[in-house]
Structure 1
Amino acid sequence: MAKSNSMNVLSILLSFAPWIVFGFIAGQSLIRLELAMLVALAITLLLSYKQLKKGYVLTWVTLLFFVFSFVAVALMKNFWVASHMGVLSYATLAAVTWGSMLAGQPWTLQYAKEEVDRSLWQNRSFIHANQVITGAWGIVFFIDLAMNYYKLNHHFAQEWIFEVVGWVLILAGMGFTMIYTDRSRKRRLQQEQAAHGTASPSAAPAQSSPK
């Protein structure tokens, strides 16, 4: 069962891969920024083409964002977009996260459905777990958005601190996703066992050996 959780987080990680690589490559120069956009686009198409075919919201938003950014920066030479890429990136991620929550379809549902039987797709605890996980990502993206906005409008000598905190938040989001997914799965199994009047093997009383 742990494999299922790992695969779920791996699918989400693949969707974040373009953003992660973009963050590593993009620097202070316009050339590096344009290169980062091209690489992010290539990664999206190569690694997430199946998710694009299935209509995954986060993947499509990622593709459209980097297409727009490349056209605006590389072709139209829009320096406002270039200088606000950090804010625009996290604003986009925060918007799709909270927007999917408001629409009643948190984007993590699409990844979670890969790992569970179709009969559980309308299960309340299953949907609630994805609302919590998506909400956690919304908080991560909002904090990153606030930090990038502050960094854009204030000169800060130790800008690397913002970078480190940003990556720590992403790792924390991944860790929370994995842990909460595992706990919600175990809770759902316990509820199903209780409904059917069965006990888990670990809860079964030990039989005394015959004397």
Structure 2
Amino acid sequence: MQKAAIFLGFVPWIVFSVVAGPSTWMWAALAALVCSLVLAVPDWRNYRSISILDAAALLFFAVLVVLSLVLDRAALQPIEDRAQLISSVVIAVVALGSLAVGRPFTEFYAKKQAPKEVWSSPTFKKVNRVLTGLWGGVFVLNALCDVAVGYFGASADLFNWVIPIVAIVVAVKITGWYPEHVRSQLKEHRAHGAHEAHEAPRNPAQPA
């Protein structure tokens, strides 16, 4: 299902957010990098391409792992303090950036299931713009939660766990529901148009 595929694309970022801490972010980055490889390799083998999420994750977490190996403790301190915030900002920029340039990241996953002839249709484009905007908004919210905890002393349980988890669950549900809802509306519209065309009276014959 598309929602499962999209959710899997976020798994490395979620793993990093859950595991990362003042003394564990290096291991979190390594775990997230491994997850990214596990997700990207099959797509590369099958399609000779990977999603923008996987590409961003591979680059971001590889850079973090390298930095953890080459920098000293003092230089790493700013990253340790803001690791979760940085990851949330990066993934939000990736998601919303793909929307801004007209290539919503969710299209990569949708094209695995949708026939090629619908890829350029307005409905296909609309659904993916909405879903990409939705997921971008989720990670903007996560970044704001990280700011609330890190800079304003908000409850870590509420802002680092409850709100982000609820937001992700809601996004997964909408990702499963919205495409079907749009397709259902489109079918109803077509059926209604066909019914009206069938019921419309014929034009009277024009006089010679």
Q: Contact 1:91–1:141 at 8 Å: present in 2 too?
A: yes
- Give the whole-Å Cα distance in 2 for the aligned partners of 1:65 and 1:84: 14
1:83 to 69, 81, 84: 81
- Percent of matched pairs sharing the same residue: 28
Displacement over 4 Å in runs of 4+: 191-195
1:63 to 52, 58, 71: 58
The answer to whether structure 1 residue 162 and structure 2 residue 159 are counterparts is: yes
> What stretches of structure 2 of length at least 5 have no aligned partner?
196-208
Deviation at 1:191, TM superposition (A): 4.7
Deviation at 1:168, TM superposition (A): 1.1
Residue 42 of structure 1 corresponds to 34
Q: Contact 2:20–2:83 at 8 Å: present in 1 too?
A: no
CA deviations over 1:110-147 (Å, ceiling 9, x no partner): 11111111110011011011111111112111111111
Residue 27 of structure 1 corresponds to 21
Q: Contact 1:21–1:36 at 8 Å: present in 2 too?
A: yes
- Give the whole-Å Cα distance in 1 for the aligned partners of 2:189 and 2:103: 24
Larger radius of gyration: 2
Deviation at 1:72, TM superposition (A): 2.0
Q: Contact 1:94–1:138 at 8 Å: present in 2 too?
A: yes
Deviation at 1:193, TM superposition (A): 5.0
Residue 206 of structure 1 corresponds to none
Paired residues in the alignment total 189
Residue 72 of structure 1 corresponds to 67
Deviation at 1:35, TM superposition (A): 1.4
Residue 186 of structure 1 corresponds to 184
- Give the whole-Å Cα distance in 1 for the aligned partners of 2:11 and 2:159: 20
Deviation at 1:13, TM superposition (A): 1.8
Deviation at 1:171, TM superposition (A): 1.1
The DSSP-based 3-state class of the residue aligned with 1:82 is helix
Of residues 113-122 and 146-155 in structure 1, the stretch that sits farther from structure 2 once superposed is 146-155
The DSSP-based 3-state class of the residue aligned with 1:48 is helix
- Give the whole-Å Cα distance in 2 for the aligned partners of 1:170 and 1:183: 20
TM score, norm. by length of structure 2: 0.82
